[in-house]
Structure 1
Amino acid sequence: MKKGMSLALGLTMALSLSVNAFAESSYTVKSGDVLWKIANKHDTTWQELAKINKLKNPNLIFPGQIIKINTNEEAKTEVKEVKNNKEMKNSEKVVAVLNSIETGDTSAIAYINPEKYIQHNLSAGDGLAGFGELLSKLPKGSASVDVVRVFEDGDYVITQTDYNFFGPKVGFDIFRFENGLIVEHWDNLAEKSVNPNPSGRTQLDGETKVTDLENTDKNKALVKDFVNNVLVEGKYETMGQYFDGDNYIQHNTQITDGLSGLGQAIEAMAKQGINMVYEKNHMILGQGNFVLSVSEGTFGGQKVAYYDLFRVENGKIAEHWDVIENIPNKEEWKNNSGKF
């Protein structure tokens, strides 16, 4: 079986606990039960239950199955301590999931809710099965993953990643969490450019450190206003108020640095009859100096998703990365969740 499918099915366990002596009780699996829920009810981990019951696939349990539960108080205390020591930030869980695409480390499956995984990548089906099916199509040993930027906004984790995923790509991923588990995923991917842009910048280089945490809300409001006022409403004459003069670092593959470079690019596209239209903004997510905007619109008449990452400095937009991805016709979608 291929690595991708193994990841999706979770055929190995993430955590091994050493408990030498324990007493056992049992639980009878009911319809709708999953191992992690049973574990939560009995103050243990699903990994511990999988070990005790010698479950090769912890995602496959069935009604009527007898699950042994460890009732030894000393052992349960050890389990609690391990759970506390293993607490991870949501961003760390996301990086583990993305890295597992390259490494095949199936333990990362523990961070995805097996009952609820809503997929907005239109090339993949819903749920873990859809995720696994997509990964199983990767040529063996072909995937590579390098997470360049990661930040959190409440229940959301946002990453910008250098992929080799059916060819070299750059992409943004958004993961939504509920109760510590991933339940929803959006992304936007583009081919990785071989050459730098006119200012010598790549799609991924530049500042990576999350700072300015105390101004997160202000920075998100600034970007939201810029996107809606300038990009959606087309009030380009107001652009200057969002930037510090001509100081603007640009990572778009076709545009040079500076507010002047952006203006020249918009003017050049207009002369060529290429219209870049932002119709609606769907998300503004940010932490500190980084703010991601997710919008829909058209580019040259083709329906697209715009993912724009902005770095804000001293209350002004200072740096920009983006990915524009075509949205396929609905009959080509592998799920009904939609791109947004």
Structure 2
Amino acid sequence: MKLKLLAPVLLLSLTAMGVSAVETLQTEEQTAQVKKVKSKSARSEAIAVRFYNKIFNERADIERTAKRFMKEDYIQHNAFVGTGRENFINGIGNLLASNPDMKFEIKHVVTDGDLVVLFVHMHVPGSGEPGEAIMEMLRIEDGKIAEHWDVQQPIPASIPHDNGMF
């Protein structure tokens, strides 16, 4: 925390002295220190969001991406998909192949240590259908997705307030 507060003061002081702030502050040692400071929550969130976007929005190779981001013994809590990485690859592969225009917009991310919750709008643009609201919860272990829970709710055509679903 102190580094964040001191950095602007240091930059102004160095600039006033004619010292290049970029050269001064971007040493390899300082870069390594910044990487160490990154919290467990921030690392978990980065893994979850990158994985989700690669699979569902970029439509990256599912098998290769799953092997990179998921533990082989990945635990699944969805009632319609078997546990394990191979079941994810097959189940999600079929879903995406059957719905090539489907989009998954991450609306909110909440992270606590190794748990990441993604609040997602799943829909097909231009279909006239509002889609579904999904909450995905992923547990990260040793830099990989180890466990998954989700709940889905169809978005009704009209709702009794003006707050929206997201």
TM tier, smaller: 0.5 to 0.7
Q: Of the two, which has the highest radius of gyration?
A: 1
Unaligned stretches of 5+ residues in structure 1: 1-213
Contact kept, 8 Å, 1:278 with 1:295, in 2: the verdict is no
Cα 1:251–1:276, aligned 2, differ >3 Å: closer, same or farther? farther
Query: Counterpart of 1:257?
Result: 83
Cα 1:219–1:270, aligned 2, differ >3 Å: closer, same or farther? closer
Query: Counterpart of 2:42?
Result: 217
> Using the alignment, how far apart are the partners of 1:334 and 1:275 within structure 2?
32
Cα 1:274–1:230, aligned 2, differ >3 Å: closer, same or farther? closer
Cα 1:275–1:254, aligned 2, differ >3 Å: closer, same or farther? farther
Contact kept, 8 Å, 1:243 with 1:316, in 2: the verdict is yes
Query: Counterpart of 1:282?
Result: 107
Classify the secondary structure of the residue corresponding to 1:253.
Answer: coil
Cα 1:270–1:226, aligned 2, differ >3 Å: closer, same or farther? closer
Query: Counterpart of 1:328?
Result: 156
Matches within 5 A, 1:144-223: 214-223=39-48
Query: Partner letter of residue 263 of structure 1?
Result: I
> Using the alignment, how far apart are the partners of 1:283 and 1:277 within structure 2?
19
Query: Partner letter of residue 240 of structure 1?
Result: K
Query: Counterpart of 2:144?
Result: 316
Kindly provide the CA deviation profile for residues 267-293 of structure 1, in whole angstroms up to 9, marking residues without a partner as x.
Answer: 44467x456933311111110111101
Kindly provide the CA deviation profile for residues 157-176 of structure 1, in whole angstroms up to 9, marking residues without a partner as x.
Answer: xxxxxxxxxxxxxxxxxxxx
> Using the alignment, how far apart are the partners of 1:259 and 1:281 within structure 2?
22
Contact kept, 8 Å, 2:96 with 2:102, in 1: the verdict is no
TM-score (ref. length: structure 1): 0.33
Query: Partner letter of residue 70 of structure 2?
Result: F
Of all paired residues, the percent bearing the same amino acid is: 25
Query: Partner letter of residue 233 of structure 1?
Result: E
The size of the alignment, in residue pairs, is 122
The correspondence for 1:226, drawn from 44, 47, 51, is 51
Cα 1:275–1:256, aligned 2, differ >3 Å: closer, same or farther? farther
Deviation at 1:226, TM superposition (A): 1.1
Matches within 5 A, 1:23-102: none
> Using the alignment, how far apart are the partners of 2:73 and 2:65 within structure 1?
16
TM-score (ref. length: structure 2): 0.65
The reply on whether 1:239 has 2:66 as its aligned counterpart is yes
Unaligned stretches of 5+ residues in structure 2: 1-38
> Using the alignment, how far apart are the partners of 1:277 and 1:314 within structure 2?
31
Greater RCO (CA < 8 Å, at least 6 residues apart): 2
Bigger helix fraction: 2
> Using the alignment, how far apart are the partners of 1:293 and 1:284 within structure 2?
5
Kindly report the root-mean-square deviation, in angstroms, between the aligned alpha carbons of the 2 structures. 2.2
> Using the alignment, how far apart are the partners of 1:282 and 1:218 within structure 2?
19
Deviation at 1:298, TM superposition (A): 2.5
> Using the alignment, how far apart are the partners of 2:56 and 2:93 within structure 1?
14
Deviation at 1:219, TM superposition (A): 0.5
